[in-house]
Chains A and B, each alone.
Chain A
Amino acid sequence: MMEQFNNRNISDNGYFLVDIVDYPTTGWGKFKRAIDRTFKLELFVGLWVVLREMIKFDIHTISYPEEKMPIGPRYRAVHEMKRLWESDTERCIGCGLCEKICISDCIRMDTRIDEESRKEVSEYTINLGRCIFCGYCAEVCPELAITHGGEYENASDQREHFVDYEAMLTPMDVMKQNAQKEFEGFGAITPHEDERVKKTPLAY
């Protein structure tokens, strides 16, 4: 597939020069062109083309609110927070990399040490009014915790539409049904990751 696109040699690729005759400059030439166009009945070719499409009735409309186009798994819409498959606890470890890398400064998080002396996220909001959906946060996340989702229909009464941690976190009932979707976009694990992983060279 890619070879086909990488082939830049257009000369034998089905491209050909269209034979466009120059505009006539003389009166006789113009007269001949007018006669040509009149009696070749070119206009009826156009009529036939649209009538053919009407008879075929191959409608390409998608009636949007009722039916939707499938969006690609790499689509970058509103963020989601994933949970661990094994224990259903949140994946986020509060490292703060997403906040650090965010180029539009829209992620703000607060962490604290909980009773078991583990770092825990206490506050986490994303200002979607500022977010440019670049995907850096999902890419940088070491735990694959913050990802992009597929929800692109949002409405808000103000420009600064925020999402917080609870809203982004996969709900528990979804987890119970094993219905959490992994993000396949940039920074995510690729399908054959196991075969490609290399051992860390310890002996320098």
Chain B
Amino acid sequence: MDNAYLIETIIKVVVILLIFSALAGIGTYFERKVLAFMQRRLGPMNVGPFGLLQVGADGIKLFTKEDIIPTNVVGPIFKIAPVITAATAFMAAAAIPFLPSFELFGHEVHPIVADINIGILYVLGVMAVGLFGPLLGGMASANKFSLLSAARAAAVFISYEVVTGLAILAPIMMVGSLSLIDFNNYQIEHGWIVWSQPVAFVLFWIAAFAETGRTPFHLIANDHEIIDGFGTEYSGMRWGLFFIGEYANMFFISFVIPILFLGGFGDGSVLGAVALFGKMAFFFFFFLWTRAAWPDVRPDQLMWLCWKVLMPVAVINVVITGLVMMF
């Protein structure tokens, strides 16, 4: 491993970390604005023009708040749980190609930290590890609401993961590779996978809501209990890490869906890159949109949906794909 490669990788990692930490903050701004407009409110307006500096104010608040470790919690696990959520969210970004490769100062840059040959498996796996954050955080807390939240986290975790895996299996069979770059290149030749695998697309999209814990499946941190589920006993930056992890996850999954199903960044042109960002923006907006429009489901409804509806549909989809590919 030569030094140039090492330095390039470190720069990429730092750039991705910085951009997506900032995006996670700006994501909260967008969320509040979009939700407000859909509910005929104004949203944050007072800090900076149109409330844009609200993100900074929230950041300062989170960073300077006292870090309270309640007496009866399981200390080490309680402390590490938010780190797991945030860290795994960013780790998942390592295998995502954010842009087509481009020339910079006569040097070809691949905007992907590591084009590993198990790309999508790695992304989904690491994102799944991220659910240990709510799970451990809730179990380490010393109150029943957090514990119940952790129990819901486990239920959601098991349910959607099966659907995600089976849904993505059919496209993987067609592409014959797990690398996201290969997915992109396959779609340059054969057209978007969404046309040949619409069912897998919808299933994966539904599962993405469970993966990120967004509104129709926002039952881990159940807002209806007024308190914040697993985050009840957290304060300051530890709670903020959960938040950053959730929003980073939303951004990354919004990148992964178009790369898997909607043509990715295309053939490497600027237009393709812009289109990828457009698609990403749409999926991110959709996360906010559903939060304004849809009610949450109960845990039993989510499990009913995942085990009795989505999983059989995914299996049938895989079987049909296999038969079509065989004959």
Binding site for B on A (CB under 8 A): 34, 43, 46-47, 49-51, 53-54, 57-61, 63
Contact = CB atoms under 8 A, between A and B. Distances in A.
Contacts of B293: 43, 46-47, 49-50
B42 A53 contact: no
Interface residues of B, number: 14
Contact of A60 (B34, B40, B290, B294): B40
Interface in B284-325: 289-290, 292-294, 309
Contacts of A54: 34, 37-38
B37 to A, nearest CB: 5
Contacts of B37: 53-54, 57, 59
20 contacts: A34-B309, A43-B294, A47-B289, A47-B290, A47-B293, A50-B38, A51-B38, A51-B289, A53-B37, A53-B40, A54-B37, A54-B38, A57-B37, A59-B37, A60-B41, A61-B40, A61-B41, A61-B42, A63-B42, A63-B45
Contacts of A49: 293
A59 B289 contact: no
A47 B215 CA distance: 13
Interface in B13-47: 34, 37-42, 45
Nearest to A48: B293
Nearest to A65: B46
Task: Please name the 8 residue pairs, one residue from A and one from B, whose CB atoms are nearest each other, closest first.
Answer: A50-B38, A46-B293, A61-B42, A50-B292, A54-B37, A50-B293, A54-B38, A47-B293
B39 A53 contact: yes
A193 B45 CA distance: 48
A43 B42 CA distance: 25
Pick from A34, A43, A47 the residue with the most CB of B within 10 Å: A47
Interface of A is mostly: helix
B61 to A, nearest CB: 21
A134 to B, nearest CB: 34
A34 B309 CA distance: 10
Nearest to B41: A61
Contact of A59 (B41, B290, B292, B294): B41
Interface in B261-296: 289-290, 292-294
Contacts of B289: 47, 50-51
A46 to B, nearest CB: 4
- Most chain-A CB neighbours within 10 Å: which of B34, B37, B42? B37
A59 B39 CA distance: 8
A147 B38 CA distance: 43
Given A51-B38, A54-B37, 20 more contacts: A46-B293, A46-B294, A47-B289, A47-B290, A47-B293, A47-B294, A50-B39, A50-B289, A50-B292, A51-B289, A53-B38, A57-B37, A58-B40, A59-B37, A59-B40, A59-B41, A60-B41, A61-B40, A61-B42, A63-B42
A35 B34 CA distance: 31
A43 B297 CA distance: 13
Contacts of A43: 293-294
Contacts of A47: 289-290, 293-294
Nearest to B290: A47
A46 B290 CA distance: 9
A43 B37 CA distance: 19
A57 B294 CA distance: 20
Contacts of B39: 50, 53
A46 B294 CA distance: 7
